[in-house]
């Protein structure tokens, strides 16, 4: 609800502070008094273009501050949080807009800097302004589907969930197809690589073992002569080992003759044993370092193949077995990919069918709600002097490319103003007065579904009077039971029904013209309504008629 509006130096308004309450509020005054300035000022706070022409002559800047009392869970609070601004629970939402005479402007929301774009985004959640040339709100077809859904209390979540599931299934399918296409382009390479790796049949640790064996054989070739010479010194009847054993046998026969001979025999026995161990190790070394040209060539060839394959695939030789397994798995996925695609296609088809079922149910529900809304609006038209007009809610199918979470329907409110005339959008064929009355009829029929908590009607009663004006007043009163309404009016029948009444008037001090707004008490209201009835000269009869209107309201 709009709770307060403060205006400084806007056109003819020097300083103005207004407090608003719930219900229906009327703003009246003579033509040209400046009622539009109030709406321009409020529009500035709601993100309208910052025109330096709004700054009062002689002032450096114009300032408008609008305060709104909103529930803690209001969507405006969520919007502020999304934009990084703080919204204090229980505190009013305060929008301040400053326009400088040189054309610059700035805005704050709850004292925090904000952009004009954010103000525009907040505006439809705070105030609806319906005027002669308004192209927003009920006149904007983009909002008609949501209004119809709210009117019919239609479940749209089922279709939204089904659409989300369908889109997700389609994305999975598209991703799998793309992966398969990319992999298929590599299939020939993969087949060749897997065949090469499988033919090579590399084993983990094989490169190190081959490298060690090759090095040993190369050492054996270099040490062969020395090894043969050492073996010659030890082997044979004349070799060192045989001589040691013969010496030990002869010493054994005489060792008992003297302790030193026994000790010498012990040492010689140890030498025989060590010589035997040396012979064993020498034999083992000769076997390990045995030089076989064929074996060396085989080892070097295998080692070259392993290292060449590793360089080709940019891995270490020990990683070749794992690489072979990985590429084989990729190749296997390609060969089995058709089965996976078929499964994902089936899932996407099932999800699409589920969405179509939900969207069809949504279309049927909208058709039923549209018939109810058409009947409700039709009942409101005759009292508003729109007897010849017809209203319909067009529910038409969208192209598949436009299907979405809200279903596959386009919804638009249309009218035909004369018998036999074709239906067309409201804004295209209704005159100013008719348009305002159509909006009022729609608002009453929709029972404020989807509306902001504050609605402003600008001269909705233009060009009508008598019973029609009374019908407009009665419907505004009904709407005001659900929301805050402010109406700029020239109709005494409408003004008489207001819960609060403000008079807008110009004043002159000889050099400066100012627009002021006065909150009227009971006596002031009767006098203003009498003026609206009789014109410039207020008669006693007009005062009596004004009193009757106020009593009837």
In a domain, 485, yes or no: no
pLDDT in tens, 79-111: 888 888 877 777 899 999 999 998 889 999 999
In a domain, 358, yes or no: no
Which parts of the chain sit beneath pLDDT 70?
Answer: 33, 131-137, 220-233, 236-239, 286-292, 333, 336-337, 427, 429-433, 447-452, 536
Question: What's the rounded Cα separation, in Å, for the pair 439 and 436?
Answer: 5
Strand order in the sheet with 424-425: 390-397, 409-416, 424-425
Q: What's the pLDDT at 135?
A: 45
Task: Report the DSSP pairing between strands 454-458 and 500-508.
Answer: unpaired
pLDDT in tens, 38-76: 888 998 999 888 888 889 988 999 999 999 998 878 888
How many domains does one find in the chain? Answer: 1
Question: What's the rounded Cα separation, in Å, for the pair 462 and 430?
Answer: 14
Query: Which strand (E) or helix (H) includes residue 525?
Result: helix 522-534
In a domain, 262, yes or no: yes
In a domain, 73, yes or no: no
Q: What's the pLDDT at 237?
A: 60
Interacting residues of 442 by C-beta distance below 8 A, sequence separation 6+: 138, 377, 391, 413
Q: What's the pLDDT at 137?
A: 60
In a domain, 384, yes or no: no
Q: What's the pLDDT at 432?
A: 61
In a domain, 540, yes or no: no
In a domain, 549, yes or no: no
Provide the domain limits for residue 196: 188-331
Q: What's the pLDDT at 230?
A: 67
Question: Computed from CA positions of residues 249, 254, 256, 260, in that sequence, does the dihedral angle turn out positive or negative?
Answer: negative
Answer whether 515's CB lies under 8 Å from 504's CB.
Answer: yes
Q: What's the pLDDT at 253?
A: 80
Say what the pTM is. 0.62
Question: What's the rounded Cα separation, in Å, for the pair 407 and 404?
Answer: 5
Q: What's the pLDDT at 367?
A: 96
Question: What's the rounded Cα separation, in Å, for the pair 417 and 423?
Answer: 8
In a domain, 246, yes or no: yes
SS (H, E, C) 62-73: EEEEEEECCCCC
Closest CA to 203 of 318, 55, 350, 309: 318
**Residue 177: both structure tokens together:** 């197809």
Strand partners, 8: 15, 63
């Amino acid at each position: 609800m709009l709770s307060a509006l403060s205006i400084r130096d806007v056109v003819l308004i020097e300083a103005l502070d207004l407090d608003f309450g719930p219900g229906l509020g009327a703003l009246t005054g003579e033509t040209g008094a400046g009622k539009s300035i109030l709406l321009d000022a409020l529009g500035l706070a709601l993100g309208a273009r910052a025109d330096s022409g709004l700054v009062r002559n002689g002032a450096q800047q114009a300032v408008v501050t609008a305060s709104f009392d909103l529930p803690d869970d209001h969507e405006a609070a969520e919007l502020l949080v999304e934009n990084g601004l703080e919204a204090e629970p229980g505190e009013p939402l305060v929008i301040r807009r400053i326009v400088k005479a040189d054309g610059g402007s700035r805005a704050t929301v709850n004292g925090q800097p904000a952009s004009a774009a954010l103000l525009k985004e907040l505006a439809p959640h705070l105030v609806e302004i319906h005027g002669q040339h308004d192209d927003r709100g009920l006149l904007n077809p983009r909002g008609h589907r949501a209004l119809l859904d709210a009117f019919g209390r239609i479940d749209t979540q089922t279709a939204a969930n089904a659409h989300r599931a369908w889109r997700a299934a389609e994305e999975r399918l598209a991703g799998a197809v793309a992966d398969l296409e990319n992999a298929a382009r590599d299939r020939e390479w993969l087949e060749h690589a897997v065949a090469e790796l499988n033919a090579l049949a590399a084993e983990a640790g094989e490169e190190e073992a081959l490298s060690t064996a090759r090095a040993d054989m190369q050492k054996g070739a270099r040490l062969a002569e020395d090894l043969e010479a050492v073996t010659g010194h030890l082997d044979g009847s004349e070799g060192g080992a045989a001589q040691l054993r013969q010496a030990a046998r002869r010493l054994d026969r005489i060792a008992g003759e003297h302790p030193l001979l026994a000790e010498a025999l012990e040492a010689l026995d140890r030498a025989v044993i060590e010589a035997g161990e040396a012979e064993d190790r020498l034999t083992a070394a000769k076997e390990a370092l045995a030089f076989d040209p064929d074996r060396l060539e085989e080892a070097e060839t295998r080692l070259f193949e392993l290292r060449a394959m590793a360089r080709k695939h940019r891995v270490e030789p020990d990683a070749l077995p794992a690489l072979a397994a990985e590429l084989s798995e990729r190749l296997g996925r390609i060969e089995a990919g058709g089965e996976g695609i078929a499964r994902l296609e089936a899932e996407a088809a099932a999800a699409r069918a589920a969405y179509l079922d939900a969207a069809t149910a949504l279309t049927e529900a909208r058709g039923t709600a549209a018939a109810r809304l058409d009947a409700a609006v039709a009942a409101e038209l005759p009292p508003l002097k729109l007897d010849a007009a017809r209203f319909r809610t067009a529910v038409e199918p969208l192209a598949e490319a436009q299907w979405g979470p809200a279903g596959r329907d386009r919804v638009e409110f249309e009218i035909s103003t004369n018998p036999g005339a074709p239906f067309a959008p409201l804004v295209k064929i209704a005159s100013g007065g008719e348009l305002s009355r159509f909006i009022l009829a729609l608002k009453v029929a929709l029972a404020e579904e989807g509306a902001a908590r504050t609605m402003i009607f600008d001269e909705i009663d233009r060009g009508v009077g008598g019973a029609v004006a009374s019908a407009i007043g009665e419907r505004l009163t009904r709407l005001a039971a659900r929301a805050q309404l402010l109406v700029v009016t020239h109709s005494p029948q409408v003004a008489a029904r207001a819960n609060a009444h403000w008079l807008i008037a110009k004043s002159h001090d000889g050099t400066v013209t100012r627009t002021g707004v006065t909150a009227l008490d009971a006596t002031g209201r009767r006098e203003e309504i009498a003026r609206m009835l009789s014109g410039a000269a207020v008669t006693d009869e007009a005062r009596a008629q004004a009193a009757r209107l106020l009593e009837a309201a």
